[in-house]
């Protein structure tokens, strides 16, 4: 079934690589034009390298390869005026906005006593305030288009506790609250709002903590089972998550709103 989002325009944050790039390409494959944004700067405290201009250029190449159009810009989800300018530029170019994917996030793994105010502020600012900023910069365009879909990427850690990730877990739980509040208010405009909750995904973020997790679990072996999936897979592919994003972006989910959608291989059942 091709063309599931044909004629739609989607705004995606954190689109330079990983899940964001995958979402952009998957939606483009099904007919959407893309407004893409990413930080493109080193991120303090994290155990992985930040996305680069070359990464974003590759997203542009892959989207254009599908035959769809894309505008890609450097931007910070903590900067609401800057985000508004990017979204407004994209809407001026493409004529409307139908889909928003609030995907940008950071992850800093620390034991609770080692979390600093800087780490807390970075994580909450990006993963929670950044999601609110994304909606505030874009939702009015979706309303003006007659309705559409806002997809907020949370995590399995937005539905259950996870050790060594206190700020991340707090932010991702908060994303669910943002989703439910916006879903209630925007429903009268035919705007649907939902969250997606991945388990581990094979991205630079998750790869960056691979060496830290065994170290921490070695000190706290009683927590070893908490990150396990029911299905026999350690991590999912970004495209596995993009299939869920595509469903929520398409008219197939036209009556799905205020819903938490786990794509977690059963992780949240533990």
Q: What span, in angstroms and rounded, lies between the C-alpha atoms of 222 and 267?
A: 17
- Pair type for strands 99-102 and 148-153: parallel
Q: What is the C-alpha to C-alpha distance for residues 230 and 241, in angstroms, rounded to an integer?
A: 17
> What are the b/e assignments for 190-212, b being 16+ CB within 10 Å?
ebbbbbbbbbbbbbebbebbeee
Name residues whose C-beta falls within 8 Å of residue 88's C-beta, 6 or more positions apart in sequence.
Answer: none
Q: Give CA 158 to chain center in angstroms.
A: 12
Rounded distance, CA 72 to CA 86, Å?
9
* CB contact set of 223 (below 8 Å; sequence gap of 6+): 163, 217
Sign of CA dihedral 156, 228, 239, 22: positive
> Which 3 state secondary structure label does DSSP give 11?
strand
Considering 48, 168, 216, 270, which one is annotated as catalytic?
Answer: 168
Has 216 been annotated as catalytic? no
Residues tagged active-site? 168
């Amino acid at each position: 079934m091709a063309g599931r989002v044909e004629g739609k325009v989607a705004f995606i944050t954190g689109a330079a690589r990983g899940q964001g790039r995958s979402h952009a390409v998957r939606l483009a494959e099904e007919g959407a034009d893309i407004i893409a944004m990413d930080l493109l700067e080193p991120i303090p405290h994290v155990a992985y390298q930040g996305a680069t201009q070359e990464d974003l250029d590759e997203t542009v190449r892959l989207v254009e390869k599908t035959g769809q159009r894309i505008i890609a810009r450097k931007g910070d989800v903590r900067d609401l005026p800057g985000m508004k300018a990017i979204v407004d530029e994209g809407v001026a170019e493409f004529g409307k906005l139908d889909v928003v994917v609030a995907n940008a996030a950071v992850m800093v793994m620390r034991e609770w006593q080692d979390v600093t105010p800087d780490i807390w502020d970075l994580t909450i600012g990006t993963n929670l305030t950044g999601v609110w900023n994304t909606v505030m910069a874009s939702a009015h365009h979706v309303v003006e288009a007659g309705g559409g879909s806002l997809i907020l990427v949370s995590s399995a850690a937005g539905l259950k506790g996870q050790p060594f990730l206190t700020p991340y877990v707090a932010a991702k739980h908060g994303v669910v609250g943002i989703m439910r509040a916006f879903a209630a208010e925007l429903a009268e405009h035919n705007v649907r709002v939902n969250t997606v909750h991945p388990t581990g995904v094979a991205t630079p973020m998750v790869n960056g903590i691979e060496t830290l997790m065994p170290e921490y679990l070695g000190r706290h072996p009683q927590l070893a089972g908490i990150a396990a999936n029911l299905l026999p897979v350690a991590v999912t592919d970004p495209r596995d998550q993009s299939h869920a994003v595509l469903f929520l972006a398409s008219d197939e989910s036209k009556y799905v709103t205020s819903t938490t959608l786990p794509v977690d291989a059963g992780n949240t059942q533990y």
